[in-house]
Amino acid sequence: MTRVFSGVKPTGHLTLGNYLGAMRRWAAVDQHRADSLFCIVDLHALTVDHDPARVRRLSRQAATLLLASGLDPELCSVFVQSHVDEHTRLSYVLECVASDGEMRRMIQYKEKAVRERSRGGSVRLSLLTYPVLMAADILAYGADEVPVGDDQAQHVELTRDLAVRFNQRYGQTFVVPRATRPAVGARVMNLQEPASKMGKSEDVGPGIVYLLDEPDVVRRKVMRAVTDSGRGVEYDPQGRPGVANLLEILAACTGGDPVELGGGGAYGSYGELKRDTAEAVVEVLRPLRERHKELCADPAFVEGVLRDGAERARGLARPTVDAAYRAIGLLPAGTVVPTGAR
Ligand code: TYM
């Protein structure tokens, strides 16, 4: 059976981008057709300046939202990365097959390092090595597929490179995974700055729709989205990124096609497009918000799901990570070394 692994980082409140680019498919498709593991990757949240209490809070909230989005613990495993030691055990070994040049070429590293420095802060070493930990997350489980938004494609490509390199040097150990992306909504843009991704970590403000925003807040944000000075609605991501982003969001929420929605003069004005988009987003988020509220009233259920998820994850990851340790030359624990052996 196909194995699927993906994760979300608790660095901010989850956004419409996280949902349309990744989470929605996990619940609607992946958990039904594959052996799936979904992870709150809390160690990754420590790579930039962080508040411990906030990371804890956001981790709990992310777990609750994943379940609210429809992940069913009967069908898939949901767990917290730091509850399974195999991730960090494997990460170190993979650091021994990765190069520092490779790490420095990662787009997200470059962007975030510049941002941290411009704020006068220093760049944590873990920000540089982050993609190796991400590779370990995936390779520990022998995942075949990694459903992610476009911004993670480069990291999954690196994961493939590391898996192939390790297998070539030390013997067949890892499955070489591939990224899968949604046809629509793989890169939702910030409503106020349509040239930038709608990101949860660094930004705040009216250009980001959070999954737990009240319907009126969602409406206000969408109605105030930046469009362009052109007239008429058409799908042209290069020339008219603001309108294209709205069409993309509308299409993702209604199961349509952004090019078709923008063609044929279906929308005479930006106002109409914004209104329909706002209502479509509100409707998509409604069941999620309702289920989230129910789950918040039952924290013991969420805790139980995470406990069971981590236990299953440990059992799956352990043999692969042990195999990698042996392959790279580490002595298995408990081995008796004969006297005089080299
Ligand atoms: P993170 O937490 O930034 O995002 C979680 C998922 O949401 C997708 N996403 C988006 N998709 C479309 N439009 C957007 N604006 C948007 N913003 C975010 C992301 O592509 C991602 O799929 N490094 C990862 C977390 C991670 C991981 C892993 C993922 C750690 N280990 C192993 C997969 C497998 C991250 O920062 O995602």
d(CA 157, CA 30): 20
Higher pLDDT, 275 or 116: 275
CA dist., res. 30 & res. 328, Å (int):
33
| Beta strand pairing call for 145-147 and 178-180 | parallel
Ligand 1 environment, Cβ below 6 A: 5-9, 17-18, 20-22, 41, 44, 134, 137-138, 146, 148-149, 151-152, 155, 186-188, 197-199
Q: What is the pLDDT of residues 110-138, one digit of tens each?
A: 998 888 888 888 999 999 999 999 999 99
In the prediction, which pLDDT does 203 show?
65
Taking the CA atoms of residue 60, residue 63, residue 64 and residue 67 in that order, the dihedral angle to the nearest 10 degrees is -170
Under the banding of pLDDT at 50, 70 and 90, the label for residue 202 is low
Q: How far is CA 336 from the centre of its chain?
A: 43
Q: Which atom of ligand 1 is nearest to the CA of 18?
A: 7
Predicted pLDDT of residue 228:
80
Q: Is the pLDDT of residue 140 over 70?
A: yes
Q: Which CATH class is domain 3-182+299-328?
A: alpha beta
Neighbours of 72 (CB within 10 A): 12
pLDDT value at 27 more than 80:
yes
The whole-number average pLDDT for the span 73-97 is 98
Mean pLDDT of 310-329: 98
CB 132 within 8 A of CB 162: yes
| pLDDT higher than threshold 90 for residue 324 | yes
Q: Which CATH architecture has domain 215-294?
A: Orthogonal Bundle (1.10)
The model's confidence at residue 341, banded by pLDDT at 50, 70 and 90, is low
- Domain extent listing, the chain: 3-182+299-328, 215-294
> How far is the C-alpha of 95 from the C-alpha of 132, rounded, in Å?
6
Residue whose C-alpha is closest to residue 94's, from 41, 137, 136? 136
Q: List CB contacts of 3: < 8 A, sequence separation 6 or more.
A: 34, 35, 36, 37, 141, 142, 143, 144, 145, 175
Q: Whose CA is nearest to atom 31 of ligand 1?
A: 134
The reported pLDDT for the residue numbered 234 is 86
- Ligand 1: which residue has its CA nearest to atom 6? 18
pLDDT surpasses 90 at 333 = no
Q: Which of 16, 18, 19, 87, when mutated, tests ligand 1's pocket best, judged by the most ligand atoms within 8 Å of its CB? A: 18
Q: Stretch 253-279: mean pLDDT, rounded?
A: 91
Six-digit token string for 119 = 């704020």
Q: Residue 156 has what pLDDT? A: 98
pLDDT tier for residue 205 given thresholds of 50, 70 and 90: confident
Would you call 197 a catalytic residue per the annotation? yes
Distance (Å, rounded) from C-alpha 330 to C-alpha 305?
34
Size (the chain), residues:
342
Is 274 known to be catalytic?
A: no
Q: What is the percent of the chain with per-residue pLDDT over 70, rounded to a whole number?
A: 97
SS3 state of residue 6: strand
Mean pLDDT score across all residues of the chain: 94
Domains 3-182+299-328 and 215-294 share a fold: no
Q: Give per-residue pLDDT as tens, 223-263.
A: 999 998 777 788 989 889 999 999 999 999 999 999 999 88
Distance 18 CA to ligand 1 centre (A): 7
Q: Give the predicted TM-score (pTM) of the model.
A: 0.96
**Rama region for 267: left / alpha / beta (φ>0; ψ in -120 to 50; rest):** beta
Alpha helices by DSSP H, the chain? 16-18, 24-25, 31-33, 52-68, 86-95, 100-104, 107-118, 125-139, 153-170, 215-223, 241-254, 258-262, 270-296, 299-328
Q: 201 pLDDT exceeds 80?
A: no
User: What is the model's pLDDT at position 87?
Assistant: 98
110 is catalytic: no
pLDDT(275) > 90: yes
- Single-letter amino acid code for the residue at 151: D
CA separation for the pair 236, 12 (Å, rounded):
30
Question: Tokens 């294209």, residue?
Answer: 244
Identified catalytic residue from 9, 110, 112, 221:
112
